[in-house]
A and B are shown apart, each in its own frame.
Chain A
Amino acid sequence: EAGVVQSPRYKIIEKKQPVAFWCNPISGHNTLYWYRQNLGQGPELLIRYENEEAVDDSQLPKDRFSAERLKGVDSTLKIQPAELGDSAVYLCATGVNYGYTFGSGTRLTVV
């Protein structure tokens, strides 16, 4: 089992530029979460998908963040335009019932 695959691992961009993160979940995992984790903090929920439906995006800053999950499998998270405060690790997690598995994350640095 390949696990949750995220790319890229690292991304450095200038502020106001767009950026996208990609997540490939474990096969058969219907629930997919995107989290943002700042240094020294726990992961903060951004959006949750059940299959292809975004069932909870209440904490996604919709003015600049967007997400999609095509055909209920891969998901992308986009920021446009990026701000300095968006620098963080973006984590994707997927699961079936109990026990959510995280990908390795994308460390974003906005300069």
Chain B
Amino acid sequence: QKEVEQNSGPLSVPEGAIASLNCTYSDRGSQSFFWYRQYSGKSPELIMFIYSNGDKEDGRFTAQLNKASQYVSLLIRDSQPSDSATYLCAGLNTGNQFYFGTGTSLTVIP
């Protein structure tokens, strides 16, 4: 079992819609979670991190963490074509190891 699981997609949403990206993790002791965006041929860039249960908002992005269900999500409101990328979920487990999921490919259709 992978430490972090993501639906690989692809996920397609129309411009202006809400994109919802989901991630589950196996190490119940993991405390911190990160969302990275990776454009084709580029390295991952950090969008948000979250370590408390509930929601964390930053502009059009909202990260959600539910530790009881071991579930992390990223919502992108008012999706733009420039949001088209692969989104990687990562967690910092109890061994202080930083593990990534396989990524979800998002396409925003103009």
Are A and B genuine complex partners?
A: yes
Interface residues of A (CB under 8 A from B): 33, 35, 40-45, 48, 55-56, 89, 91, 93, 98-105
* B46 part of interface (Cβ distance < 8 Å): yes
* B1 part of interface (Cβ distance < 8 Å): no
Interface residues of B (CB under 8 A from A): 4, 6, 8, 32, 34, 42-46, 49, 51, 88, 95-103
Do A100 and B98 touch (CB < 8 A)? Answer: yes
Across-interface contacts of B97 in A (CB, < 8 A): 45, 48, 56
Across-interface contacts of B45 in A (CB, < 8 A): 102
Across-interface contacts of B42 in A (CB, < 8 A): 104
Number of A-B contacts (CB under 8 A): 50
The 4 lowest CB-CB distance pairs between A and B, nearest first, are A42-B100, A102-B43, A42-B102, A43-B100
Q: A42-B88, A43-B44, A43-B88 are in contact. Are A99 and B100 (CB under 8 A)?
A: no
In the complex, besides A48-B96, A55-B96, 14 extra interface pairs with C-beta distance below 8 angstroms are: A35-B100, A42-B101, A43-B88, A48-B98, A56-B95, A56-B96, A91-B44, A98-B49, A98-B51, A99-B34, A99-B46, A100-B34, A100-B98, A102-B45
In this complex, the member of A35, A43, A45 whose beta carbon has the largest number of chain B beta carbons within 10 angstroms is A43
